[in-house]
Every structure is written in structure tokens, then in C-alpha cells.
Structure 1
Amino acid sequence: MKVHTKKGIDKLLFGMKQKDVELLYGKPNKHYKDDDKNIIYLYNLEKLRLTFYEDEDFRLGYIISSNSKLELFESTIIGKDIKTIKNNLIEKGIKSWEVEDFDSTQNHFNEPNWIILQSEFDEVIKLEIGAIINDKDEFDWKFNA
């Protein structure tokens, strides 16, 4: 499953509606509304958590995955050393990281690409990627229905 910075993961593109995602992956294993009334889809096999934003007409705006087949710039990342991953990303132009510590886990956030790599015991355990907000303070949707 390829991670496409600023666009999505695999065949998923930011801006898709639920029906578009279901055409690709079928019905989710679970779905629910979060506290902000966003719709969340969970796909167990793909290890995907998809957020459709209520205030954006339920467009796909955020993806979380712990799929071991995730590839960022041709390299798998889950289970790999966080320092090595971040060093490899420097040559791809992803250089700045804000790090937040939560007990045994750390979130490594790159704002220009809206990517979070979550690590525990110095290994990447999860990737989060969100739709980019453009200069007009609007989401830069990549999917055109």
C-alpha cells in the first residue's frame, strides 16, 4: 500500500465520499460517528481508519493505518527504526519533525505533508496522514467526483 504524500494511501484520495471508498474496498467492518459527528470507517484486513469530515460534506480527510505493507517512497515503514526512516526521508525533502512524547509512544509530525509517524520502542507502529489545507485556508481535495 503506497503512501502518496498530500494525496492519500493506495487507491484512497482525499476528498472521496463514502460511496467512492465502498466501490474500492466494500462496506467497512465497522463504522461510527465520533464526538465531532465525523463518520469513521474501519477496514480490518487493510488496517485502515478513515475519517469523513462532517463539516466538509463527509469527504475523506484523514487516514490512519498500521498496515505492515505501507510504503513511503518505495520503503516499508511499519516495524522499522524511526531514526532510519526519518533520515531516509530527508533526501525526499521531508526534513522537519515536531516530536510529542506520550508515555511509551512518540508522535513525529511533519506539517508540510501532514504526516504523523507514531513510534514505540523506536519502531514505527502507525502512520497518520491528513488532507492538506491550501493558501486559501481550504482543503486541497485530490479526488474529483
Structure 2
Amino acid sequence: MEVKLKYGIDKLLFGMKQKDVEAIYGKPNGQYNDEEDNIVYVYNAYKMRLTFYDEEEMRLGYITSTNENLELFGEQIISKKWSDVKKVLTEKKLTQFETEIVDGTENYFFENNWLFVNVDYGIVFKIEIGAIFTDNDDFDWKFKA
């Protein structure tokens, strides 16, 4: 499953509605509302959570995944050493990031691509990607219905 920064993962594109996602992956294994009344779909087989933004007409705006088959720039990233993943990111000019450590977990945030890489014990265990913003502070939806 290819991570496409600024676009989505695999066949998922930011801006899709729930019906568009269900046409690809079927009904989710579960769903819930987060603290901001967004709807989150959970797909167990894909190890993904998909967030549809309430204030954006329920468009897909955020994806969290621990799927071992995720690839970024042709390289698998989940369960890989952070130093190896960081090298790949650096080669692709992703060098500016913010670091936050929460309960020993390192979180690296690449704002220009809205990418979070979550690392525990030196190993990448989760990524999060989100839709990016235009210069006008609107979401740059990639899916055109």
C-alpha cells in the first residue's frame, strides 16, 4: 500500500466521502465519533483509521495506519528502524520536522506534507497523514467527485 504524501494511501484520496471509501474497501469494521464530532472508520484488515471531517462535509481528511505493507517512496516503513526511514526521507528532501516525545514515544511531524512518523524503541510503528492546506488556508482536496 503506497503512501502518497498530500494525496492519501493506496486508492484513498483526501476529499473522498464515506460512500466513495466504502465503494473501494466495503463497510468498515467499526466506526466512532471523535471529540470534534468527526466520523472515524476503522478497517482492521488494513490496520487503518480514516477520519471524515464534520466541518468539511464529511470528507476524508486524515489517515492513521500501522499496516506493515505501507510503502513510502518505494520503501516499507512500519517496523523499520527510524534511522533507516529518516535516511529515506532525507534523500527525498524531507528534512524539516518537529519532534515531540510523549511517554517515551517519539513523534516526528513534517508539516509541509502533513506527515507524522511515530517511533517507539527506535522502530517506526505508526504513520499519520493528513490533507494539506492551500495558500488560502483551505483544504487541498485531491478527490474530485
Same fold (TM over 0.5): yes
The whole-number CA distance in structure 2 between the counterparts of 1:89 and 1:32 is: 33
* TM-superposed deviation, 1:143: 0.1
TM-superposed CA distance for 1:104, in Å, is: 2.3
Aligned-CA RMSD value: 0.6
Question: Is residue 2:123 matched to residue 1:132?
Answer: no
Report what 2:112 is aligned to: 112
Identity of aligned residues (%): 54
How far apart, CA to CA, are the structure 1 residues paired with 2:88 and 2:8? 20
Q: Report how far residue 91 of structure 1 moved.
A: 1.4
Tell me how far 1:3 sits from its aligned partner: 0.1
- 3-state DSSP class of the match of 1:52? strand
- TM-score (norm: length of structure 1): 0.98
C-alpha separation in 2, matches of 1:51 and 1:35: 12
- Paired AA for residue 78 in structure 2: I
One-letter amino acid of the structure 2 residue matched with residue 2 of structure 1? E
AA matched with 2:80: K
How many Å separate the matches in 2 of 1:137 and 1:34?
Answer: 23
- 2:102 corresponds in structure 1 to 102
User: 2:58 is matched with which residue?
Assistant: 58
CA distance in structure 2 between the aligned counterparts of 1:117 and 1:98, rounded to whole angstroms: 11
Report the counterpart of residue 68 of structure 2 in structure 1: 68
Q: What are the within-5 Å matches in structure 2 for residues 84-95 of structure 1? A: 84-95=84-95
Structure 2 partner of 1:83: 83
* TM, length-normalised to structure 2: 0.98
Gaps of 5+ in 1: none
Bigger mean CA deviation after superposition, 40-49 or 82-91: 82-91
Question: Secondary structure of 1:78's partner?
Answer: coil
Equivalent residue letter for 1:88: V
Question: For residues 88 and 32 of structure 1, what CA distance do their matches in structure 2 show?
Answer: 34
1:103 maps to amino acid: D
Correspondence for 1:11:
11
Between the two proteins, the alignment pairs up a number of residues equal to 145
1:87-138, Cα deviation, whole Å (9 max, x unpaired): 2211112111211001121101100000000000000000000000110110
Offset of 1:84 from its aligned partner?
A: 1.6
Q: Distance in 1 between matches of 2:128 and 2:142?
A: 17
Query: What stretches of structure 2 of length at least 5 have no aligned partner?
Result: none
Q: Please name the residue that 1:46 is paired with.
A: 46
- Structure 2 counterpart of 1:37: 37
Distance in 1 separating the partners of 2:109 and 2:37: 25
Task: Give 1:121's aligned amino acid.
Answer: Y
Q: What is the SS of the residue equivalent to 2:64?
A: strand
